Structure 1
């Protein structure tokens, strides 16, 4: 799964390694891998695996004693929820806010739909245009985001700030569908069905409801049903 937005948030920590850089420390590799797996599991609808991998990622990040890294990890987890329209406070980040850098606080405010215009420049680059877009231009701004998860995050923020048009909702549905991300797909299909019902298009609403039923009945991928490869207290060298 391509996650340029994740790399943007974690690059400062060295979690997104490049070929010319020294070999990353074990905690960096473990944290990046666990974060990727946690987000993938959440988007695909496997809460059990997501919880295990998120705990693993937090343990690795916490081992550095750096609040900024732990804060970024929690923001990534909360961003996956916004992409899936689980619009709730990012409590784990809020517990760290007083010591978190300004960029992390701005991103948390963005996810909550209360970003100050002056702080748009602190956001990851992929989100800046969408964050500043009006209701009329939000759809085009979201569609222009190349990374699918970044696109869904921007769409989720647009929805909670009252800037989501039917075409933006359709773009979010198509994005989640193309990636096979069951959780956000169901959430956005629900919005699409509600919009169709409110507009009086009952035939379209029924079609979307049938699609929801199909998605709900799809089996969880076998790869996500397997237990974690190692418990959280396993020595790092044994986890490879």
Structure 2
């Protein structure tokens, strides 16, 4: 059994300094898949805030290099704590090199009750009506996730660079929280794979995520619907927008990634 919370929670060894044991088996290529690294950074950022009313609202991150199995260090710093918002920076360092870093915004709810959403919710085939993909061994980390695809399959030569699939951790995450949603946003293949005829090595280099809490009304084992689309691709880099929706059509996360085609 895999406890994703435990695996992605670094151990505090001193103020602003944590240790991390990166497990084997979560790779995408040489290093751990980006969602694992980002989940670690989120948990480190959240550890610096004691106010439960300040939820993670925004995360911006760069993935600078592969996070290899073995020991790593996580450094965390509060950049500013205001009356309603805390800004925290975190980085993962391995063998003296910065592997990834992120800045998180944790903030309480505001008094403005205006609610707007111009993104049209998807109307996917229900989770229970879609057969799961066989357990995936490529990339390596994919065996920990369950996918039920409603759109084009990767490397199918489809006409549109999109992804449409249900996804959840296997076995289910102990709790649905910001770190898990961050990982889930990165757990699905790039939308560009739908138009490619064969696999090519790619990697996320920048990652921006907006979260829309609270999440306690969503069950930890609930499947979420991932919808992704390439907005622009040029010079070996693709900008992709990703969304995570509940079965009831509620938007939980909005993600933009810059993804490099390595060769």
TM-score category (smaller protein): under 0.3
Decide which structure has greater strand share: 2
Q: What TM-score do you get using the length of structure 1 for normalisation? A: 0.28
Decide which structure has greater helix share: 1
